[in-house]
């Protein structure tokens, strides 16, 4: 039986070929179809727009619009939504908003999906008020908001710091019968965790379970990380064990979140136990995992083991990043090997990393803490690039060495450069001057700090 060729069959073929990323072949099939009298329609071109945007570039996808017009085919809402979505996906947020305006100018009526993308873009570029206006247009207009609309709104509010508004919207929606999705809960929990509202986050997590949902690894890891950030280490470990009891497959990120938190609090033995669990479970470390292990070894003074891991990273085909080398430099400094730290910094330059301000700041801080303040001052003077953290480190260490006049001069120099130093550090310098009897100098410093705040 011979199947008659049609545009529908052509579209099925084009969609299949595009999925396999053979766009040249798709173009050839369209040309062959035209020769046989089977002409592409708007669906054909929409398939091409999506494929070019995904597999080539946004501009390549946009150029298909011109071909459509040449063929006498008018782009429809699907064409425009595909382009708007592609622009947002590739972080061309302004372009996405421009395309939405283009839809309106062409007389094409946008749908809820169009508005959802616009809201997402406005939140991304830090315009939550405008995103809220779009949301109100949807709610008060002829459209019915979709679950995705609410997810975009709650996620956007959280990421822009409006966690209370997100929580109020969430509760209001529930009262009106909205059934939250896993994505909704994850967005809200993530926002609450970033705002350090641990109690509310755990309350939402309990509600999540009561709704019959099963939190996924992302949910658990988010709350666990928040527990550690809020110094609730036992609660964080409880979540870790709960994840294990439920049979979740841990990734390196979850383990490293725990290990990093334990290392920061000096609970090295427990960190070692978690690392052993990770290795016994057969998890292959990624670069983040290796960096965490190197940090652990450096904290324990096991520099030889840390350096061996550098070789292991290369054997695994991974490339060390700036953070890896900065950990090693910090470890050498903690061991008092400042010459070795400088040599490793020079070694980084030979690898093509260029100037590493974070690593230099690290050496500067460790020199000060070790009491080598003159050495730290010499390094500071030799630095061509400095940031606020550089100045803060040296001011703080000068205060520790009770060299308050030098700290005062450096603080003024920092403020003149337009950098900001923590008020607690400023206070330490002022109090230090008073403590050594330089009351007049402390008053002058206060005046200079006030003037700098006014100018900047």
Pair 79, 46: CB distance under 8 Å: yes
Q: Among the listed ranges 263-277, 323-337, 410-424, 432-446, which one has the minimum average pLDDT value?
A: 263-277
pLDDT above 90 (res 452): no
pLDDT band for position 62 (50/70/90)? very high
pLDDT tens-digit profile of 233-284? 788 888 877 877 877 766 677 777 787 777 777 777 887 787 777 777 777 6
pLDDT tens-digit profile of 86-134? 988 888 888 888 888 888 888 888 889 999 999 999 998 888 999 999 9
Summarize the confidence of residues 178-186 as an average pLDDT.
Answer: 83
Summarize the confidence of residues 34-46 as an average pLDDT.
Answer: 91
The pairs formed by 285-290 with CB atoms below 8 angstroms and a separation of 24 or more are 285/252, 285/316, 286/252, 286/318, 287/313, 287/318, 287/319, 287/320, 287/321, 287/324, 288/252, 288/253, 288/256, 289/252, 289/255, 289/256, 290/318, 290/324
pLDDT above 60 (res 456): no
pLDDT of residue 455: 63
Please give the DSSP secondary-structure letter assigned to residue 384.
Answer: S
Query: What residue has token string 């801080």?
Result: 365
pLDDT above 50 (res 1): no
Say how many C-beta atoms besides its own lie within 10 A of residue 358's C-beta. 14
pLDDT of residue 293: 80
pLDDT tens-digit profile of 327-373? 999 999 988 899 999 898 888 888 887 778 888 999 999 999 999 99
pLDDT above 70 (res 216): yes
User: DSSP letters along 278-309, please?
Assistant: HHHTTPPP-HHHHHHHHHHHHHTT-HHHHHHH
Maximum pairwise Cα distance, the chain: 104
pLDDT above 60 (res 318): yes
pLDDT of residue 3: 46
- The pTM (predicted TM-score) of the whole model is 0.58
pLDDT of residue 205: 84
Summarize the confidence of residues 135-161 as an average pLDDT.
Answer: 87
Q: Among the listed ranges 56-60, 291-295, 379-383, which one has the minimum average pLDDT value?
A: 291-295
Pair 26, 44: CB distance under 8 Å: no
pLDDT band for position 2 (50/70/90)? very low
Residue 20, CA distances (Å) to 11, 90, 319 in order: 14, 21, 31
pLDDT of residue 165: 93
> What would the two tokens of residue 421 be?
């130093």
pLDDT band for position 4 (50/70/90)? low
Q: What is the spatial distance between Cα 442 and Cα 428, in angstroms, rounded to a whole number?
A: 11
Average confidence score pLDDT of the chain: 86
Question: Which of 252, 282, 286, 258 minimizes the C-alpha distance to 272?
Answer: 258
Q: What is the spatial distance between Cα 151 and Cα 89, in angstroms, rounded to a whole number?
A: 17
Question: Which of 122, 199, 192, 182 minimizes the C-alpha distance to 153?
Answer: 122
Query: What residue has token string 């690898």?
Result: 351
3-state DSSP: the chain helix, strand, coil percent, rounded to 5?
75, 0, 25
> What would the two tokens of residue 377 be?
């001052």
């Amino acid at each position: 039986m011979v199947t008659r060729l049609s545009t529908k069959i052509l579209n099925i073929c084009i969609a299949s070929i595009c999925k396999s990323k053979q766009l040249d072949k798709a173009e050839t099939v369209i040309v062959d179809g035209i020769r046989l009298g089977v002409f592409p329609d708007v669906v054909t071109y929409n398939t091409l727009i999506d494929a070019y945007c995904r597999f080539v570039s946004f501009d390549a996808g946009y150029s298909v619009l011109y071909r459509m017009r040449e063929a006498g085919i008018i782009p429809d809402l699907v064409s425009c939504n595909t382009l708007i979505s592609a622009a947002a996906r590739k972080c061309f947020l302004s372009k996405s908003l421009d395309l939405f305006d283009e839809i309106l100018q062409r007389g094409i009526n946008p749908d809820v999906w169009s508005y959802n993308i616009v809201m997402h873009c406005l939140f991304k570029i830090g315009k939550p008020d405008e995103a809220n206006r779009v949301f109100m247009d949807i709610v008060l207009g002829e459209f019915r908001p979709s679950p995705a609309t609410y997810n975009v709104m709650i996620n956007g509010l959280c990421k822009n710091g409006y966690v209370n508004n997100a929580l109020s919207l969430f509760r209001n929606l529930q009262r009106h019968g909205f059934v939250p999705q896993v994505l909704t809960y994850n967005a809200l929990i993530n926002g609450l965790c970033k705002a350090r509202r641990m109690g509310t986050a755990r309350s939402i997590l309990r509600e999540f379970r009561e709704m019959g949902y099963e939190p996924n690894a992302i949910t658990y890891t988010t709350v666990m990380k928040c527990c550690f950030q809020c110094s609730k280490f036992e609660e964080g470990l409880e979540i870790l064990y709960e994840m294990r009891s439920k049979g979740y497959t841990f990734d390196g990120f979850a383990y490293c979140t725990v290990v990093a938190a334990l290392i920061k609090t000096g609970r090295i033995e427990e960190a070692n136990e978690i690392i052993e669990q990770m290795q016994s479970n057969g998890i292959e470390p990624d670069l983040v995992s290796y960096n965490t292990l190197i940090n652990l070894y450096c904290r324990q003074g096991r520099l030889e083991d840390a350096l061996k891991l550098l070789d292991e990273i290369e054997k695994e085909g991974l490339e060390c990043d700036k953070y890896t080398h900065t950990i090693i430099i910090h470890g050498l400094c903690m061991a008092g090997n400042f010459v070795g730290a400088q040599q490793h910094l020079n070694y980084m330059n030979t690898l093509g990393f260029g100037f590493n301000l974070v690593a230099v700041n690290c050496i500067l801080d460790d020199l000060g803490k070790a009491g080598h303040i003159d050495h730290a001052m010499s390094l500071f003077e030799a630095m061509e690039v400095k940031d606020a953290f550089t100045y803060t480190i040296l001011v703080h260490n000068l205060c520790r060495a009770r060299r308050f006049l030098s700290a005062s001069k450096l603080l003024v120099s920092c403020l003149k450069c337009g950098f900001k130093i923590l008020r607690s550090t400023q206070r330490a310098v002022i109090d230090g001057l008073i403590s050594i009897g330089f009351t007049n100098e402390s008053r002058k410093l206060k005046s200079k700090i006030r003037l700098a705040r006014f100018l900047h």
